[in-house]
Amino acid sequence: MPNMIVCVKQIADPEAPAGSFRVDESANQVVPAPGVSQVVSPFDEQAVEAALRIKDAHGGTITAISLGKNFVMDVIKKPLSMGGDELVLLQDPAFEGADSRSTAYALAMAIKKVGEYDVIFCGRQAADWDAGQVGSGIAEFLGIPSVTVAKKVEFVDGKVKVERITSDGYEVIEVSTPALITISNELGEPRYPKLKGIMAAAKKEVPTWTAQDIGADASQLGTAGARIKLLKVFQPVKEGKCEIIEGESPEEAAANLALKLREAKLL
Partner 1 sequence: MADNKGVMICGEITEGKLAPITTELLSGGRKLADTLGGELSAVLIGSGIGDLATEAIAFGADKVYVVDDPLLADYRTDSYVAVMEKVVKEVSPNIVLMGQTAIGRDLAPRLAFRLDTAASMDCLDLSIDPDSKLLLQTRSVYGGNAMGTYVCEGTKPQIATVRAKAMDPMAKDDSRKGEVVTIDAGLDPSMIRTTVIDKVKEEVEGIKLEDAEVIVCGGRGMGSTEAFQELEALAKLLGAAVGATRPPCDNGWVPAAMQVGLTGKIVSPTLYIAVALSGASQHMAGCSGSKNIIAINKDADANIFNEARFGVVGDYKKVLPAFTKKVKELLAG
Residues of span 173-232 touching partner 1 by CB under 8 A: 173-176, 179, 184-186, 188-189, 226-232
x/- track of binding to partner 1 for residues 10-39 (CB under 8 A): ----xx-xxx-x-x------x---------
Task: Note whether 102 and 119 are within 8 A (CB).
Answer: no
- Distance of closest approach, residue 234 Cβ to partner 1, in angstroms: 6
CA–CA distances in Å: residue 240 to residues 22, 23, 258: 17, 19, 21
Amino acid at 135: G
C-alpha 247/C-alpha 13 separation (Å) is 37
240 counts as binding partner 1 under rule CB under 8 A: yes
> Would you say 70 or 249 has its CB closer to partner 1?
249
Amino acid at 157: D
Residues in contact with 244: Cβ distance below 8 Å, sequence separation at least 6, in sequence order: none
Element holding 224 (H helix, E strand)? helix 222-225
Q: Which of 205, 219, 234, 248 binds partner 1 (CB under 8 A)?
A: 234
- Distance of closest approach, residue 162 Cβ to partner 1, in angstroms: 8
- Distance of closest approach, residue 168 Cβ to partner 1, in angstroms: 5
- Residue 80, classed as helix, strand or coil, is helix
Stretch that binds partner 1, among 78-86, 192-200, 207-215, 258-266 (CB under 8 A): 258-266
x/- track of binding to partner 1 for residues 92-111 (CB under 8 A): -------xxx--x-------
Residues numbered 113 to 132 that lie near partner 1 (CB under 8 A) are 124, 127-132
Stretch that binds partner 1, among 55-63, 89-97, 192-200, 246-254 (CB under 8 A): 246-254
- Residue 245, classed as helix, strand or coil, is coil
Q: Looking at residue 14, what DSSP letter applies? A: T
User: CB count, 10 Å around CB of 48?
Assistant: 27
Q: Which of 111, 122, 165, 221 binds partner 1 (CB under 8 A)?
A: 165
Element holding 46 (H helix, E strand)? helix 42-58
* Residues forming beta bridges with residue 12, ordered by sequence position: 38
9 counts as binding partner 1 under rule CB under 8 A: no
List the one residue out of 48, 34, 36 whose CA is nearest residue 11. 36
158 counts as binding partner 1 under rule CB under 8 A: no
Task: Note whether 135 and 5 are within 8 A (CB).
Answer: no
> Would you say 10 or 77 has its CB closer to partner 1?
10
> Would you say 168 or 205 has its CB closer to partner 1?
168
* Residues forming beta bridges with residue 235, ordered by sequence position: none
- Distance of closest approach, residue 153 Cβ to partner 1, in angstroms: 13
# residues near partner 1 by CB under 8 A = 87
